Amino acid sequence: MNRTSVKIVIAGGFGTGKTTLVSSVSEITPLTTEELLTSASVGIDDVTGVESKTHTTVALDFGRITISPDVVLYLFGTPGQDRFWFMWDELAEGAVGAIVLVDTRRLDTSFPAVDYFERRGIPFVAAVNQFFGECEYTDDEIRSAMELGAEVPLVWLDARDRASSKLALIALVRHAMSRLPQAA
């Protein structure tokens, strides 16, 4: 097999534990890379290079898992703020799918992510992050509040826990497989 990269997007509202999840399963300490806010300014306005860097870039956290000698899985956390939607397209393009982290105290912060992946037909699982404490809601209540389709898996996890995060990733990959035409 050719050297192959696979992407999974870790999405959710600000503070839902995206970087925590990436940290718990990544084989490297999560890295942060930056993207310019407008690529148009690279060649035209930005005459002194990175002079106003802190104002013109958005940070992306990511980690990696070596799957086999030829396959590496990259986990990309989405930028927290909604105004960075333009980055989502690049992250989501060709991705296996996404994990949308949910904080039950602030369900609404994850609505935009659910909406984004639903509209584009990108497989995703909703993952309720339990490190915020006891959750008084049932699966059905969360599904209903988030308007999750019946086919969308809902999992519970503790993003700090490697085994728990791993199970959420497995649930996503299985879900993506179930949507392939070959799957009986």
Partner 1 sequence: MTGEAWDGDDETAAGRFVPLYVLVNGRTSPRDTNLDLATQVIAVPVDSSRLEPEYLQILGRCGGWISIAEIGAYLHIPLTIVKVMVDVLLEQGYLDSGAPAQHKVVDMRLLNAVLAGLERL
Q: Can you give the binding site for partner 1, defined by CB under 8 A?
A: 1-7, 25, 31-36, 39-40, 42-43, 46-51, 53, 57, 60, 62, 64-68, 71-74, 76, 90-91, 93-96, 162, 166, 169-170, 173-174, 176-177, 180, 182-183
Beta carbon nearer to partner 1, 150 or 180: 180
Q: Are 172 and 154 in contact (CB under 8 A)?
A: no
- Distance, CA of 121 to chain centre: 15
Tokens representing residue 90 in the block: 């690049």
Cβ proximity to partner 1, 135 vs 171, nearer residue:
171
**Least distance from partner 1 to the Cβ atom of residue 58, Å:** 9
Report the helix count and the strand count for the chain, using DSSP H and E: 7, 7
**What DSSP assignment string belongs to 69-90?**
SSEEEEEEEPPSSGGGHHHHHH
CB of 84 to partner 1, least distance (A): 13
Is 105 or 170 the residue whose CB approaches partner 1 more closely? 170
What minimum distance in Å lies between the beta carbon of 152 and partner 1? 18
Report whether 168 contacts 176 (CB < 8 A): no
- Nearest approach, Cβ of residue 138 and partner 1 (Å): 28
Give SS3 for 112: helix
> By C-beta, is 78 or 109 nearer to partner 1?
78
The distance of closest approach from Cβ of residue 52 to partner 1 in the complex, given in angstroms and rounded to an integer, is 9
Q: Are strands 4-12 and 97-102 parallel, antiparallel or unpaired?
A: parallel
